[in-house]
Amino acid sequence: MPEPAADAVPAPARPSFGARLQEAMDTRGQLCVGIDPHPGLLAAWGLNDDAAALERFSLTVLEAVGEQAAAVKPQVALFERHGSAGLAALERVLAACSDAGVLSIADAKRGDIGSTMAAYADAWLRDGSALAADALTVSPYLGFESLRPALDLAQASGRGVFVLGLTSNPEGASVQHVGGDHSVAAGIVDAAAAENSRELGRAAAAGASRQLGSTGLVIGATVGTALTELGIHLAAAHTPVLAPGLGAQGATGADLRATFGAAYPNVLATSSRDILKAGPSPAALRGAARQTLAGLAG
């Protein structure tokens, strides 16, 4: 019997995350709604700052926008601050996303080495884990290959990762922009593109034709001309881009089209506060999401 190829990956039990995200974006548009139960938003909704309120808040958002958004993105830190009760609420929210057929992106920004990274991957990307999401945000700043346990488990389970690439916070440039035309950020983009090239090559060999891989990038919606200045080219990378910063942080659909250019069809734009402030009325939340989607469509 011939030996399997060195880069062979077992076929997952579900379609790849890239394929599922592409279908969701084609069907519903390019909006990801952040589920960010900040204390101030909870108070504005007339809710207490406790785990029960987190769950009520999150499920209201999911019910209101689940048919409009390509994905939702719970901000894990805002659940963690309530300890085990908050994480239990997050488990139920992630399960509700799965039941509703809405892609979930756990915004946890995990990053470590060796067995610790493997444990993070096991928590967020393994079938059967109570915290399993469709995708996980991860940090590559211990070296891109430190993410290997998450990259491999995501491939094996039909899930995805979004790797921090070029963020819009002022402090990010001190690390991400280092190197100019050979910047740290450009290296991360290239590494993610290589992951997707291998994945899509395997898919093509199996007779499938897909546009998006399952290794995404987090690139801030408000990075402006930084992609051009750093010589980063995304259009041919087949890389989904999670772009936080739409709405309350100042970015518009027109800004995103200008920033990402030919790669704009691969962009999943995230809006949180600008939509969430419309609550607690589900109808008002739906209206805010609908207006945001219209802006993304141009």
DSSP code string of 20-41 = HHHHHHHHH-SEEEEE---HHH
| Tokens at 149, concatenated | 């346990």
CATH number for the 28-108+272-298 domain, one of 3.40.50.300, 3.65.10.10, 1.10.1200.10, 3.20.20.70? 3.20.20.70
pTM: 0.94
Which residues are identified as catalytic? 109
Q: What residue type is assigned to position 23 of the chain?
A: E
Enumerate the β-bridge partners of residue 110: 138
Cβ atoms of residues 269 and 255 within 8 Å: no
Cα distances (angstroms) measured from residue 90 to each of 45, 74, 96, 107 = 19, 8, 10, 12
CATH code given to domain 111-247? 3.20.20.70
**What integer pLDDT is reported at residue 5 of this predicted model?**
46
DSSP-derived 3-state class of residue 110: strand
Amino acid at 42: L
User: CA nearest 12: which of 278, 203, 242?
Assistant: 203
Taking only the tens of pLDDT, the chain with its 298 residues reads 444 444 555 556 789 999 999 999 999 999 999 999 999 999 999 999 999 999 999 999 999 999 999 999 999 999 999 999 999 999 999 999 999 999 999 999 999 999 999 999 999 999 999 999 999 999 999 999 999 999 999 999 999 999 999 999 999 999 999 998 899 999 999 999 999 999 999 888 888 777 899 999 999 999 999 999 999 989 878 899 999 999 878 899 999 999 999 999 999 999 999 999 999 999 999 999 999 999 999 7
Query: Which residues, 6 or more positions from 19, have their beta carbon under 8 angstroms from its beta carbon?
Result: 208, 210, 212
Q: What are the residue ranges spanned by the domains of the chain?
A: 28-108+272-298, 111-247
